[in-house]
Structure 1
Amino acid sequence: MSALWGIPFAGILLSIALCPLLAPVFWHHHFGKVAAAWSLAFLLPFAALYGTDRASASLVHALVAEYIPFIILLTALFTVAGGIFVRGNLHGSPGLNTALLAIGAVLASFMGTTGASMLMIRPLIRANDNRARSAHIVVFFIFIVSNAGGSLTPLGDPPLFLGFLKGVDFFWTVRHLFAQTLFLVGALLVIFFVLDRWHYQREGVLPVDPTPDTRRLGFDGAINFWLLGVVVALVLMSGLWKPGIVFEIGGTPLTLPGLLRDAGLIVVTLVSLRATPASVHADNQFSWGPMAEVAKLFAGIFLTIIPVIAMLRAGTGGAFGAVVSAVTRPDGQPDPAMYFWASGVLSSFLDNAPTYLVFFNTAGGDAHLLMTDMAATLAAISAGSVFMGANSYIGNAPNMMVKAIAEQRGVRMPSFFGYMAWAGAVLIPLFIVMTFIWFR
């Protein structure tokens, strides 16, 4: 396929980046229509040139095999985490904020970056609701909790879960990425503490919260912790149980464990909505706005990304052959540094799960060989896919959800390019250091 087929994907990315700046009112009311328009800009010409059968098969595969399970999992985590309210009058000092980010980083590898983000972002914003400047707090939250923290287990981030399904041991990532994760998260926490303390001291005496929460620190909606455990169990079941029973919809195979997982997640969502007291949702200011924004925009992304992933999978003979060739040294051996940056840069703008899979297969696709003789290469692919998802708002789904929740709470978040400037100033230098230490 020609690289021109990537224009609709580039178009939706530029729309997400520029429309909120140039036409904020239009974007707020019509972003779903814009996403649909770019989707049709790919699907209609594709159907005209390659036939409706191939177009419908690609559409069904993208929706049934990828988008719908993705949205069901996000919705379950969004609902369950939104049903947990951290009560008590937290004061957003630099020390407390750093501690909350550290706790979120630990939780991310056990309940996923989405689950940890949805659980921790609301109390963090509420703790800082009387700070003059809080956007930097949310930016570092995305860096640490929504991305870097999810690098130690397959539960943490979708790319690692795909590796788990391909045969990578459950504890392989914690053994081979622990040092890199500790360095990145530790460095980000230190940078954040210094920056937040500087802002905190410059703000001087903060206004007193007019409506302090005098209740003892604790949790409301505790049943949702049990439901989070059910979500984790369902995800693990779909990866470990392999009965070999497969159903087919429009040419797309669907496994029995995957269907049971999605059905179970829908039940978990409904139980959470039913069992969570209305007062908890009111305290959390829970609404479906952030979830609706992510669902509509990522529907367009999942559809327009179809030709981009196809061109990557075409290898050296495809439109992105230069990218695939760049990860191999002249002697034919894989170059971990290039795998780290190639998988990372693409994961910054493409869905990081299929990007991981492309480079996993480019490196040979043999899980046993990659875990042993080519461990450095697999570590580079894993680290690039997870860590560099923080480089843009669309690099990982929780990024956009956290941004939407923060803006709903009145935080003036950076624009698309403004956020990337933060990533360029803070993350890229750390990634360069990591390259020289671990991926040479």
Structure 2
Amino acid sequence: MALAGLPLPALAAELQGETMSLAWALPFAGILLCIATGPLLYHHFWEHHYGKIALFWALTVVIPMAVAFGFSAMLTAVLHTILLEYLSFIILLFGLFTIAGGILVAGNIHGTPGTNALILVIGAVLASVVGTTGASMILIRPIIRANDNRPFNAHVIVFFIFLVSNIGGSLTPLGDPPLFVGFLRGVDFFWTTSHLWPDTLFVGAIVLAAFLVIDYILHRREEGMPKMKDPTPDSKVRIRGVGNIPLLFGVIAAILMSAAWDPGVSFMVHGVEVELQNILRDLIILVLAGVSLVITKKEYRRANGFNWGPILEVAKLFAAIFICIIPVIAILKAGMSGALAPLVAMVTGPDGAPNDLAYFWMTGILSSFLDNAPTYLVFFELAGGDPQQLMTTYATTLAAISAGAVFMGANTYIGNAPNFMVYAIARERGVRMPSFFGYMLWSGAILIPTFVISGFLFF
């Protein structure tokens, strides 16, 4: 992995990607496979040992790199990943998770089709401001309460995952982890907004329209059924912890500052250049998160079900992911001379130009089952890895990669981190959620046709 400002080609050459076999990609595939299957197939073991599993896969990269390329080259590669990318990545997630967790939407309303659609629209917009995880955690309980007296309510949560936990996060680097990875690699903050808004609006409108039709039909059917007692009667909606809202804008300001301000001051750590503006950005986000913890009443966080478990899991797993992807990036940098040449050929047209539709679907399909942030980075590098060229000459290619990674994370419960969190919370609150494959029937019926149309229209 590399960030803007780091001479990645030199790093890749030092690791000699041309000579590296596909065996170097096995740890990356292994950690992603464990993340995909662990919570579903061996939940109890995974819950207690995911940190050890992550460490195991990281060591299967670190130790062979030290042996094959020398300790110094390995240390430089790992420090580069940790100092320039991982820390900024996890600090942003930590900041948004902490601050959003202090905002409580209290009260209850009746979940009519119009009201539910309004909540989904608000959540989708909010997702690009506080992230899909933040927006999901703020609004999942209010929308469950609004519909807890309805015999048919699982579809509301399914569409919540579609729109709030995924599609809505496509307009800024704050929205979804892969887009922030792109920002760290040098993609301008508002490039995503200006290039993805037509596709996002199109996809979001179709999915929202499908929801309104389905919810209206089911709501009409419920009118002839025996009335259920509302476990949480309607009451005025109030937003608690409003002091956290300015803190969210502070996070946005810190990120914009790091993109716009370049004092030309940096620090070298074993050959890795760490720039002052990025250090300051991360420190500001940490301070804002600390302020949120101080000013927010504990009862608000308790009501939100706030705990540190999710962010700790993300921190441990992504540390391993970022390390395991180092040799994969080196192989990709070798292009047609590397072991991943067949993958390069799949997304390249006969004339050598990138096939945008192939990038959209390849990124999307893998993001449906693997974590979308490293998947985005793999295809970002496959497309050349030069942010300036990708934002201009190959803008549609970068848009295809971005849209595929964000949109198609909604295809399964494991495509994006908030999906499974929303699923777990809904089941805990008594919603009869569809099974893993039952959910895929929903996404196959609603999302896949939408993505087919969107892909041909935009890519």
Deviation at 1:326, TM superposition (A): 2.8
The 1-side partners of 2:121 and 2:444 are apart by: 22
State yes or no: 1:38 paired with 2:57.
Answer: yes
Equivalent in the alignment of 1:224: 244
Cα deviations across residues 205-250 of structure 1 (Å, max 9, x unaligned)? 4632445474x22211110111111111111111111122122334
Deviation at 1:359, TM superposition (A): 4.8
State yes or no: 1:71 paired with 2:90.
Answer: yes
State yes or no: 1:273 paired with 2:293.
Answer: yes
- 1:355-394 equivalences under 5 Å are 356=376, 359=379, 363=383, 374-393=394-413
Equivalent in the alignment of 1:8: 27
Aligned partners of 1:87 and 1:213 also within 8 Å: no
The 2-side partners of 1:18 and 1:365 are apart by: 30
Equivalent in the alignment of 2:7: none
TM-score (norm 1): 0.86
Amino acid across the alignment from 1:240: A
Equivalent in the alignment of 1:238: 258
Deviation at 1:130, TM superposition (A): 4.6
Deviation at 1:373, TM superposition (A): 5.5
**Structure 1 residue matching 2:239: 3-state secondary structure:** strand
Q: 2:229 is matched with which residue: 191, 197, 208?
A: 208
Aligned partners of 2:85 and 2:184 also within 8 Å: no
- 1:11-30 equivalences under 5 Å are 11-30=30-49
**Structure 2 residue matching 1:217: 3-state secondary structure:** strand
State yes or no: 1:108 paired with 2:159.
Answer: no
Aligned partners of 2:411 and 2:443 also within 8 Å: yes
Instruction: Report the RMSD for the aligned CA atoms in angstroms.
Output: 3.2
Q: 1:263 is matched with which residue: 279, 283, 291?
A: 283
Aligned partners of 1:290 and 1:405 also within 8 Å: no
Amino acid across the alignment from 1:324: V
TM-score (norm 2): 0.82
Aligned partners of 1:326 and 1:338 also within 8 Å: yes
Deviation at 1:390, TM superposition (A): 3.0
**Structure 2 residue matching 1:88: 3-state secondary structure:** strand
Deviation at 1:416, TM superposition (A): 6.0
1:175–1:414 distance in 2 versus 1, CA, 3 Å: same
Amino acid across the alignment from 1:426: I
Amino acid across the alignment from 2:238: G
Aligned partners of 1:155 and 1:161 also within 8 Å: yes
Cα deviations across residues 284-324 of structure 1 (Å, max 9, x unaligned)? 22222222232233333223233333333332222222222
Aligned partners of 2:325 and 2:374 also within 8 Å: no
Aligned partners of 2:24 and 2:327 also within 8 Å: yes
Q: 1:182 is matched with which residue: 201, 204, 208?
A: 201
State yes or no: 1:96 paired with 2:115.
Answer: yes
Deviation at 1:258, TM superposition (A): 1.1
Structure 1, unmatched stretches of 5+, are none
The 2-side partners of 1:73 and 1:263 are apart by: 10
The 2-side partners of 1:428 and 1:353 are apart by: 21
1:403–1:349 distance in 2 versus 1, CA, 3 Å: same
State yes or no: 1:342 paired with 2:353.
Answer: no
Deviation at 1:430, TM superposition (A): 1.6
- 1:297-316 equivalences under 5 Å are 297-316=317-336
The 1-side partners of 2:330 and 2:152 are apart by: 43
1:295–1:43 distance in 2 versus 1, CA, 3 Å: same
Count, aligned residues: 438
Cα deviations across residues 96-145 of structure 1 (Å, max 9, x unaligned)? 22221111112223443343333323322333445556554333323212
Q: 1:194 is matched with which residue: 210, 213, 216?
A: 213
The 2-side partners of 1:169 and 1:199 are apart by: 43
